[in-house]
Structure 1
Amino acid sequence: MRTSTPTAPHSRRSIRALRGNWRRIATAATATAALAFTGLGSAAQADAAASTQAAATKTATPNVTWSRACSTPSKAGEMACKALRVTGGTTAFQIQKAAAKGVSPKAADATTPSGYGPTDLQSAYGLTSAAASNGSGETIAIVDAYNDPNAEADLAKYRSYYGLSACTTANGCFKKVGQTGSTTSLPSSDAGWSEEISLDLDMASAVCPNCNILLVEATSATMANLGKSVNEAVTLGAKYVSNSYGGSESSSDSTYDTSYFKHPGVAITVSAGDSGYGAEYPAASQYVTAVGGTALSKATSTTRGWSETVWKTSSSEGTGSGCSSYDTKPSWQTDTGCTKRTIADVSAVADPATGVSVYDSYGVTAGWYTFGGTSASSPIIAGVYALAGTPSSSSYPAKFPYTAAGTSALNDVTSGNNGSCSSSYLCTAKSGYDGPTGWGTPEGTTAFTG
C-alpha cells in the first residue's frame, strides 16, 4: 500500500533501462471508499467538512492510499501494467459532495461512484452543450491489449447509472474486435488490462455519449501488435483513436511512426505517461496528440467553476513530458527547448486523487472504481475531437490545438510541475505552452476543429 507520496517500486532509470519493456500508463484507483452520508450532521461536522473542502481546493490533491493492481509482465517486450487502486482516504469528489451536504466524507463500499462522472467532465471542459447534440455517427476507437470479456456489460452499467443511452452490439453502437478485425477470434483475457479497457470505454462515453465505440484488442502489449490494432481501427472507419499506453523510446520509433501512426484525417491521442518528466513513445510520435495530465478540482471562486494544476504525486509519479530523442519535431511545434518532438500537446484530468468513476467487474469485485493517470486523459481528449467533428482527409489533428493557442478555447494551466529539468517550461507549468499540460485543457471543442 502506498500513500499520496509513494515510493516507486523501481527507479525510473532502471525502468527506462529495460528498453523492450513497454509500460502501460494507466493508473487506477478503486472506489473502495465510496461516499456514504448519514443524516445532516452537527454544526461541528459541517465546519469540519467546510474546512476539509477549503484544504482540498488549496492543495488540489486530497490524501489517498493505494496499492498496485497488476503484476509486472513475465515476458520481455510487453508493457508493465501499473494500475493503482485506492485503499483508503477520500477523493476530491467525495470531499466536495460531503461539503455540499455539510457532513464529513465517510468510507463505504464499491456500490457508489467516488470519482467524477460525465456531468462533471462536461462541465469542467465546457462540453455540456456539445455532448448533448454532437457525436452522432462518429466512431471513437479504443486500442488496448488483451481481452476484457465483460467490456460490453460493464459499459452498460456505467451508461445506465449516469443516464446515457444504451451502447451495445445489438444497436450498433458498440463493437469489439481483435487486431485482425475478427469479432470471434479474440486474445486471451487479462484482469489488469480489463481495468484499462473499462476506464477507456467509460471516458469515451462520458465526453461523447452519442458516439459509437470500437474496441480493438491487441493480441499482446507489444508495440507491433498494438500498432496493428491502430491500423485496424482506422481500416474499420474510426476517425478518433485513443491509446492509453506507452514505453521507453527506441531507434525503431521512426519506423513505428510511418507504419502505425501516420494516418492523415484521423485524430490519434496518446497518453503522455505517468512517470513524471521524461519522454515516452508513442506519445513522442509526430503524428499523434500527446495528452498530459492535471489535478482537477471545483473552484467556486472562478467563473469556470473548476481549477487545474499539473498532476504530480511524487518525484517518480505524475504526468509525463519531455523531449524526444528520436522523433522529428512537427512543423507546427515551435518551442525551442527541444530540437526534436516535445511532449505534451494538451491535457485533461489524470490525478487519481481527483480521478474519474469507472465500473469494472472482471478480475475484481464488481463495482465502482476511481481511476487516474494519463490513461484517463487520452480517451477524454479523443472524445473532444469526436465532438468537434470529422477532420479533413489531409489534416493531422495534432496540429489543431496549436492554431487555437492562447485563446479562450483552451484553459491555460499555469501552476505545478512534474519534476526538474534544464528548460523549466518542459516540466513546470507557465502561462502559454508548457511540457506537462501543453497548451492546456479543452474549453469547448473549438481548439479541436480543423
Structure 2
Amino acid sequence: MRRTRPLLAAACSLALATAGALSLGFSTAGTTAATAVAATGGKTAAAVEVRPDLHQVPGASFADPPTTAQCESSYQIACYGARQVEEAYGLPQLYQRGYQGQGQTIVIVDAFGSQTIRGDLAVFDKAYGLPDPQLSIIQPAGKVVYQDDWAGETTLDVEYAHAIAPKAKIVLVETPTDETEGTAGFPEIVKAEEYVIKHHLGGVISQSFSATEETFPSKGSLLGLRSAYIDAARAGVTVLAASGDNGATSQQLDGTDLYTYPVVGWPSSDPLVTGIGGTQLHLDAAGNHTTPDSAWSGSGGGVSSVFSRPWYQDGVRADTGGSRGVPDVSMSGACDGAVDVYQSSAGKPGRWELICGTSEATPEFAGIVALAEQYGHHRLGLINPALYRMSATKAPGVVPVTSGNNTATFTQGGKTYTVQGYSAKAGYSLVTGVGTVWAPSFVPELARAAR
C-alpha cells in the first residue's frame, strides 16, 4: 500500500512480533515516522520496511528466489514463491482445464510505474516457468518521470497478477503523480482510468492504493472523484482496491500519524469498488496448507464515514450497521508469508526481495477475476452483489476465515493507543470480508453469479 510520503520512507519500518494485534510505534526524532507490528502466530521476526508503496523486508536480498526454509531461518518469517501461492488457491486444477486467463486483460494502475518492469517480469517468469504475457504500458494522464522508490509496487502488482492468471494480457497504466492522502494523485488516476474504460482496454482494474476518507477536504471532494467508478459500473468493468495495511486505523493527512479511532480508506470503501483485504497463508514448501488461513492483523477494515450501506450488504447489516463495510473479500497479504518478487533498477542488478500487504492481495484477486471472465465468456462488472450471494448460500468456493483480528495498538506523541478492530468469523467480518477463495470452485461460481 502506498501510505507514506517518499521523504519519510527511509525512517519507516514494520516489525513482526508476537503481539496478537497490529501495533504501530512512532519515533519522534525529527519527523515522526511510523513503525508497524503484525501478529505472526508466536514468532519473533525481522523488521519490515514501510516504503512509499509497499512493505518490504530490509536486507532480504537474494540472487535466486528464496525458499520458505531460508526465510524462516534468516528472517523468522515465512516467504512464498509464485508456485506456492498458486497451489494454495488450487489454481493448477484450473490451469489443467485450460483456464489461465487467455483472452482476458488485467489493467493495473500505478503511480510512476517502473522503467525495468519488462526485464524484471521476464526473470520472474523464467524462475517459475511462467509464460511471458503480452504487457502493454501506457501513460494516458501525462508523461511519467520514473522513481525507483515507487517501482516496487508496480513490480509486485504485475508479477502477482501474472502469477495468478499467467496467460492474461496486462495493461500497466502509469500515472505521473503519487497518491498519498487526501486528493493528491487522484485527479490523474481518474483521468487514466476513464481513458481505460472509454477505450475498452480491460475487464478488471487493480488499484493497490487508497487514502483515508477523513483526509479529504470534504465529503464532496471525495464524491467528485468517483466518475471513473461510475463509468466502470456502466461499462461492466470490475474495479478492485486494496483495503489498507494498518488494521482498523489508517494515516492522517501528514501520511505518518494514525487516527486514534477506527477509519477506512477510499476507494476500497466505494460501493462501486470491491475492497480487498489480507489473510495469512500457512503453507509447506509445496504450497499445501498446514493450517487454515487466518486474518492478517494489518488488513484494513471497518465501516465508511462517507457511504451508507449498499443494498448488497443488507444481509450483513449486523456487522456494518447503516454504513458501507470494508473489505469484501481477501487473499494473501501477511508479512509472515511475504511473496518473492524480482526487482531491478536502472543501472543496478536485480535481486529477489520479500514484499507483503494488501497491495499483494489486490492484483492476486484481479487474476482470479480474469479467470472467471474467461470461464464465463463475459465481463463480470460490479461483483459485490455476487460475492454476498455466494457467501449467503455458502458457496464452496468462498472459504471462511475464522481466526485473527485487525486491532491496532500504537504509540504516538508519547502516548499509547489501541484502536479496537474486528475479529474474523464465518460469514462476513470487517477484517476479511466474506472470506477468501478456493479457485477451482470460486471461479465458476463467480462467473455464474456475476451476470
RMSD: 3.5
Partners of 1:230 and 1:261 within 8 A in 2: no
Q: 2:187 aligns with which of 224, 239, 248?
A: 224
The equivalences for 1:198-213 within 5 A come to: 198-213=155-170
Distance 2:228 2:61 in 1: 44
Gaps of 5+ in 1: 16-22, 28-55, 71-80, 108-113, 168-172, 313-317
2:382 to 378, 387, 396: 396
CA distance in 2, matches of 1:253, 1:131: 40
Q: Indicate if the aligned counterparts of 1:332 and 1:399 stay in contact, CA closer than 8 A.
A: yes
Partner of 1:266: 237
Q: 1:62 to 1:292 in 2, by over 3 A?
A: farther
8 Å contact from structure 2 (residues 107, 172) kept in 1: yes
Q: 1:86 to 1:399 in 2, by over 3 A?
A: farther
| 2:277 counterpart of 1:292 | yes
Q: Which residue does 1:111 correspond to in 2?
A: none
AA of the residue aligned to 2:390: A
Quick check: 1:61–1:354 contact (8 Å CA) kept in 2?
Answer: no
User: 1:216 is matched by which residue type in structure 2?
Assistant: V
Match of 1:153 among 109, 119, 129: 119
Shift of residue 399, structure 1, vs aligned partner: 2.3
Provide, for residues 211-237 of structure 1, a one-character-per-residue CA deviation record: whole Å limited to 9, x for no partner.
011000111121111122222232242
Match of 1:65 among 30, 47, 54: 47
Report the TM-score when normalising by structure 1: 0.74
Secondary structure at the residue paired with 1:323? strand
Q: Paired residue for 1:136, among 91, 94, 102?
A: 102
Tell me the equivalent position of 1:331. Answer: 311
Work out whether residues 407 and 421 of structure 2, in 8 Å CA contact, stay in contact via their aligned partners in 1: no
Consecutive aligned runs of 4 or more in structure 1 exceeding 4 Å deviation: 93-96, 302-306, 390-395
- Indicate conservation of the 8 Å contact 1:292/1:436, yes or no: yes
- 2:201 maps to 1:237: yes
**Local SS of the residue matching 1:368:** strand
TM-aligned CA distance change 1:64 to 1:446, over 3 Å: farther
How far the C-alpha of 1:119 sits from its partner, in A, is 1.8
Residue 253 in structure 1 maps to residue 222 in structure 2: yes
| C-alpha spacing 1:393/1:360, structure 2 compared with 1 (3 Å) | closer
C-alpha separation in 1, matches of 2:307 and 2:106: 26
Deviation at 1:105, TM superposition (A): 2.9
The secondary structure found in structure 2 opposite 1:298 is coil
Q: CA deviation at 1:389?
A: 1.2
1:191 Cα deviation after fit = 1.4
State the 1:124 CA deviation: 1.2
1:145–1:193 Cα contact (<8 Å) kept: yes
CA distance in 2, matches of 1:365, 1:61: 32
Partners of 2:357 and 2:130 lie apart in 1 by: 24
Structure 2, unmatched stretches of 5+, are: 1-12, 18-22, 179-184, 249-262, 410-418
State the partner residue of 1:179. 140
| Alignment-derived partner of residue 145 in structure 2 | 188
2:444 pairs, out of 431, 443, 446, with 446
Could you tell me which of 391, 399, 412 is aligned with 1:411?
Answer: 399
- Given that 1:148 and 1:189 are in contact with CA atoms closer than 8 Å, whether structure 2 keeps it comes out as yes
**2:385 maps to amino acid:** K
Seen in structure 2, the aligned counterparts of structure 1 residues 394 and 408 have a Cα distance that, compared at 3 Å, is closer
Q: Aligned residue pairs: how many?
A: 371
Q: Give the one of 83, 88, 91 matched to 1:124.
A: 88
Deviates more, 1:253-262 or 1:321-330: 253-262
Cα 1:412/1:255, change in 2 over 3 Å: same
8 Å Cα contact 2:60-2:354 kept in structure 1: no
3-state SS of the aligned residue for 2:167?
coil
Which AA in structure 2 matches 1:188? V
- Identity percentage over the alignment? 25
